[in-house]
Structure 1
Amino acid sequence: MPWPYPEHNPYVGDDGVRDEDLRLAALVAQRLSADWTTRRQQISVSVQNRVVILTGMVADSATRQAAGDLAWDVIGVFDVCNALTLYGRGRGRR
């Protein structure tokens, strides 16, 4: 079951949770854009209930791992869902 977007979450009644998620998303995105390994990659960051969700495409598995590690290093992050894919994966080879 996919996670719904935060604005569709019936369990969130407090704007403090949304504010914290936005703050964490900004901090993770800042870290990813500052690091030389991940700065030129196509990475999207979203946060839901302090769980960071990384999506997009990266060049190699080391970059994928680095992005996950950078997200984990942000104080306040509860978990990281690293859904990054590698360029060239998922395409049929002929």
Structure 2
Amino acid sequence: MYMHWPTPGENWFGDDSDQSRPDVEDLRIEALVAQRLSGDWTTRQQQITVAVQNRVVVLTGLVHDANARQVASELTWDTPGVFDVCNTLRLTGQRRGRR
């Protein structure tokens, strides 16, 4: 006899009715970070997307220079409630290398 590993859609241990709802704290952090980024002169006109899961902020998108990337990260880290920051912002002129 064997037991298979659960797939992501299976919930063996309880009610999964609230799994699709985002955490209220994550929504608060997302709104605060987005507000701070849109209010700062350096990051205001950049293409930055903010996502939060378990108080970890993921920054994605394109910025014009390395300074804007750094400022976005610093503003995010200074937001109350942020546990970690994953800054995946790319520079607009950045290209992938050839293989």
**TM-score normalised by the chain length of structure 1:** 0.79
Residue aligning to 1:83:
88
Cα distance in structure 2, aligned partners of 1:15 and 1:76: 21
CA contact (8 A) 1:42 1:57 kept: yes
**Rg larger in 1 or in 2?**
2
Q: Which of 35, 40, 65 is equivalent to 1:35?
A: 40
Cα distance in structure 2, aligned partners of 1:79 and 1:42: 21
CA contact (8 A) 1:59 1:87 kept: yes
- After superposition, what is the alpha-carbon deviation per residue over 1:21-43, rounded to whole angstroms, capped at 9, x for unaligned? 01100000000000000000000
List gaps (5 residues or longer) in structure 2: 1-8
Aligned pairs, how many?
83
Residue aligning to 1:68:
73
Helix, strand or coil at the partner of 1:23: helix
- After superposition, what is the alpha-carbon deviation per residue over 1:64-87, rounded to whole angstroms, capped at 9, x for unaligned? 000000000001000000000001
Helix, strand or coil at the partner of 2:23: helix
Residue aligning to 1:50:
55
CA contact (8 A) 1:72 1:80 kept: yes
CA apart distance, 1:59: 0.4
List gaps (5 residues or longer) in structure 1: 1-7
Cα distance in structure 1, aligned partners of 2:19 and 2:43: 33
CA apart distance, 1:49: 0.3
Q: Which runs of 4+ in 1 moved over 6 A?
A: 14-17
Q: Identity of aligned pairs, percent?
A: 60
Higher helix share: 1
